[in-house]
Amino acid sequence: MRHVLLLDLNDDPEAIAAYRHWHRPGGPPAAVTQSIRDAGIEAMEIWQAGDRLVMVMETGPSFDPEAKRARDDADPDVQAWETLMDGFQRRLAFAEPGMKWVPTEQIFALADQP
């Protein structure tokens, strides 16, 4: 299953450069990438345009977002990463309270067109 999520960065070129640096190959701590893989996330990409981020995830049948959230909440390495990333990120104005990455809704697919 594909998930597409949105989040903004603080509009600060130095902070954006630092965020990008943290996301280079080998940048995220091993515990963070392992928690992603262990959750049944088979592929993940983050795309950037200006201060807007788009995350695209492909998940397998074992993916359970609530279970991942609970495991992440109990993992001090993941929590340290989330705290670090929070310093760079800005919630979308329409995000629900406590929501970081906002899920999108697909409204068009070429494959569905005649």
- Confidence grade of residue 102 (pLDDT, cut at 50, 70, 90): very high
SS3 assignment, position 106: coil
Which pair of structure tokens corresponds to residue 33? 């990438």
Domain ranges across the chain: 2-112
Provide, rounded to the nearest whole percent, the portion of the chain with pLDDT above 70: 100
pLDDT at 114: 97
CB 88 within 8 A of CB 35: no
Q: Any idea which residue has 């989040």 for tokens?
A: 7
Which pair of structure tokens corresponds to residue 43? 């592929």
Instruction: Quote the mean pLDDT of the chain.
Output: 97
59/70 Cα distance (integer angstroms): 17
pLDDT at 106: 97
Which pair of structure tokens corresponds to residue 23? 């996301």
Residue 100: φ, ψ to 5°: -95, -75
Q: How many CB atoms lie within 10 A of CB 41?
A: 19
Tell me the CATH number for domain 2-112.
Answer: 3.30.70.1090
